[in-house]
Amino acid sequence: MSRPVDQPRWDRAYAEYREFVGEIGHGSVPKNYVTQSGISLGKWATNQRDLWLAGRLLPNRLKILLDDRSWPWSPRERAWLTTHDLLLEFISIHGRQPYQGEFHQGAYLGTWVRTQRRAHKAGRMSAQRTSILEATPGWLWDATPVKKKQVG
């Protein structure tokens, strides 16, 4: 079992990570990336994910990374968060959730929303995703009452 990195060192690595995101525009740090100050940021990022998978990431560090939308737990999770960001953008523009089949910025958001509801209903959704969706403006797990108005 590896020993925990002391907090000031972890904080410096995280600050370097935030700087990387600011410069590059995403949080996918290459595995062998080393900062100008000599921090092996790629190894640090990989280690955080490994500790998380093993259930050994300290709670305060886990909270910081969970609250950081740029932190990529996995490519699949990054894609999910990107689509959720598109959903938030759609809601801010239209003031509502997308209907089935509605398309926005290259994503079928209505289909994505339906898929999230189905995953949740089937018990196949993580607590993190559930809490993110529940914090989404206007989110409903059952959209039956919010049907598209019929014209005519």
What does the pLDDT average to over 43-66?
91
Residue 25 has pLDDT above 60, yes or no: yes
Do 57 and 17 lie in one domain? The reply is yes
86 & 59 share domain: no
8 A C-beta contact, residue 47 and residue 39? no
Which among 20, 47, 67 is the end of a domain?
A: 67
Based on the structure, what is the number of domains in the chain?
Answer: 2
Task: Tell which residue, 65, 57, 106, has the closest CA to residue 83.
Answer: 106
pLDDT > 70 in the chain, percent: 91
Say what percent of the chain tops pLDDT 90. Answer: 52
- The partner residues of 103 in beta bridges, in order of sequence, read 108
Among 40, 67, 94, give the residue marking a domain's end. Answer: 67
In a domain, 143, yes or no: no
DSSP string for residues in 49-107: HHHHHTT-S-HHHHHHHHH-TT--S-HHHHHHHHHHHHHHHHHHHHSSPPPTT-EETTE
Give the pLDDT confidence score for residue 4 in this predicted structure.
57
In a domain, 18, yes or no: yes
Residue whose structure tokens are 């509801």: 117
What number of CA atoms fall less than 13 Å from residue 16's CA on the CB side?
A: 20
Q: Which domain holds residue 88?
A: 75-134
Q: Is 146 part of any domain?
A: no
